Amino acid sequence: MARKNRENRGLFEKPVGSGRWWVRCWINGKDHREFVGTKTEARNRYEDLTGKIRKGEMIADCRKTKISDLITLGLNEAKANDRKSLKEFERFAALLGEYCGSWRAAALTTDDCNKYRTLRKEGKVTTKDPEKRKNQKIRAVTDSTINRELAWLRHVYRLGFRNKPRLVAQVPEIPFVDENNVREGFFDLGEFERLKEHLPAHLKPVVTLGYYTGMRLGEILNLRWSQVDFGAGVLRLESKDTKNRRPRNIPLGPEVRSVLEAWRFETMTKYPACDRVAHFDGRPIERITRSWKTACRRAGLPGKLFHDLRRTAVRNMTKAGVDRTVAKRISGHKTDSVFERYDIKNDRDLIEAAEKVEAYLKGQNQIPIGKKSALSATDLEEVLKLALETIEKSKKIGAPGVI
């Protein structure tokens, strides 16, 4: 009897005894029934459909797939590719797993995603134990943070869709909100020196590297002494050490070199077995959040971020006239668009530009014919550029007297 059932799997005769045979299987998450004809034709058709399902050309019963299965798929993919954001993905997985992990993947809707955003802002979706969170203050969650979480949810759906056989029939429409979180903070030299005065000794090399080289905090905390080549005067970052998986060499300026040499001497004297540049009593530093906030508050710089040092380094390189290609290689930026976001102009930059224009205009009436301008070639080029921009703007608004 069991053998007969296996032979007729996916086939049924309707009406019974009529000789009209049908096939039945799950395709694209739906119960697919199709009239074929004779029993032999129906069996061949069923084998053809199941073969396509196995190849991933069609989807089997994706109604059985749960969102927790997709989350597991996403975490396994991150581990297999050694993603640097694995810890962040695990946090996303815990949050999404609490909200919808037990749901069928095919059941997720756009409204469910909007509801998730609302509950996250209200602090009702969190990885903390419910008993512990009763007396705790709810921490505000920004739209950009929720966007990252939903973006990862979309990512695991796409993995499930590309999987063979496919685990989902389609990727749901997941809404995102506009973000207005572009930071524009930076340090001037006086603020940087004031900050250093309030930092503990073991963090001064860390912030010095951030201010002068523009290295990311994670790159600094993972830096080892074997990567510091004092002979060649460079720091060597391998592809596994950088965010964009591109190796780069960072030159050591006099100030950075002096600080690192003094810190290495102290490290080798007290903790000869320590191979990390960033350490506290020979133990690697994992985070600096509390010490950073305390130092910023005491220095009168509340709200400053460590990443502001990176923006500062890019801005300083640009103002110093470093070629953009070289500056991008030092900072590790891949595209011009992101690099330009870091090259922030403050009010003082604009005032200096205005002063140069005024000096140039005044000099036109004071410099005798045949004499050279007191301004350098670079200054003159910048002044000419500003003057041309002013003329173009005047033409657009129809200013009088402009030809």
pLDDT, one tens digit per residue, over 230-274 is 999 999 988 887 877 788 888 888 999 999 999 999 999 999 999
**pLDDT reading at 228 higher than 90:** yes
**pLDDT reading at 400 higher than 90:** no
CA distance 231 to 21: 82
CA distance 394 to 400: 8
Both tokens of residue 162? 């590309």
Homologous superfamily in CATH for domain 189-342: Intergrase catalytic core (1.10.443.10)
pLDDT, one tens digit per residue, over 13-28 is 998 989 999 999 877 6
**pLDDT reading at 105 higher than 80:** yes
**pLDDT reading at 389 higher than 80:** no
pLDDT, one tens digit per residue, over 125-135 is 876 555 555 55
pLDDT value for 240: 81
pLDDT, one tens digit per residue, over 285-298 is 999 999 999 999 99
Per DSSP, the residues of 123-144 read T-S-SS-HHHHTTSPPPP--HH
- Of 255, 263, 304, 265, give the one whose Cα is nearest residue 285: 263
pLDDT, one tens digit per residue, over 264-317 is 999 999 999 999 999 999 999 999 999 999 999 999 999 899 989 988 888 888
Q: Are 66 and 51 in contact (CB under 8 A)?
A: no
pLDDT, one tens digit per residue, over 330-370 is 777 766 655 565 555 555 555 565 666 666 666 655 545 45
Who wins on pLDDT, 178 or 376?
Answer: 178
Q: What confidence tier does 57 reach under pLDDT thresholds 50, 70, 90?
A: low
Share of the chain above pLDDT 70, in %: 74
pLDDT value for 399: 41
Q: Are 284 and 271 in contact (CB under 8 A)?
A: no
pLDDT value for 3: 47
pLDDT value for 138: 57
**pLDDT reading at 89 higher than 50:** yes
Q: CA 340 → CA 18, 33, 180, 305, 384, distances in Å?
A: 75, 58, 17, 19, 22
Q: Parse the chain into domains and list their residue ranges.
A: 2-60, 67-162, 189-342, 349-367+374-397
Q: What confidence tier does 90 reach under pLDDT thresholds 50, 70, 90?
A: very high
